[in-house]
Amino acid sequence: MNDIIEDARENGKKLWMVTQDMMKAYDSVSLESLQLALRRLDIPEKFILWITGLFKDRQISVITAFGLIQPS
């Protein structure tokens, strides 16, 4: 990742990086709030739609010692 950042810096290229913080993976944030926050950061609309699309209609399953627990 550092090489990519350095290349962009040295060659004057625009670089966009997206990360996902999994620390609060089971907390919920409304998609509307997420969209507003991304728009305040001036993120291009196509990226906002892509990012929020990752979370739309999602389901969580948990793997236990007894097998996969399906969402209810």
CA distance 1 to 9: 12
Q: Is residue 17 part of a domain?
A: no
Determine the pLDDT at residue 42. 93
Predicted confidence (pLDDT) per residue in 12-53, tens digit: 999 988 776 655 554 577 888 889 999 999 999 999 999 888
What total of structural domains would you count in the chain? 1
Beta strand segments in the chain, E: 62-64, 67-69
Q: What share of the chain is helix, strand, coil (3-state, %, to 5)?
A: 45, 10, 50
Which residues span the domain enclosing 62? 29-72
The two structure tokens encoding residue 48? 């906002």
24 is a domain residue = no
Task: State residue 23's pLDDT score.
Answer: 58
In a domain, 18, yes or no: no
Rounded mean pLDDT, 52-67: 80
Domain assignment present for residue 60? The answer is yes
Report the C-alpha gap between 6 and 33 in whole angstroms: 33
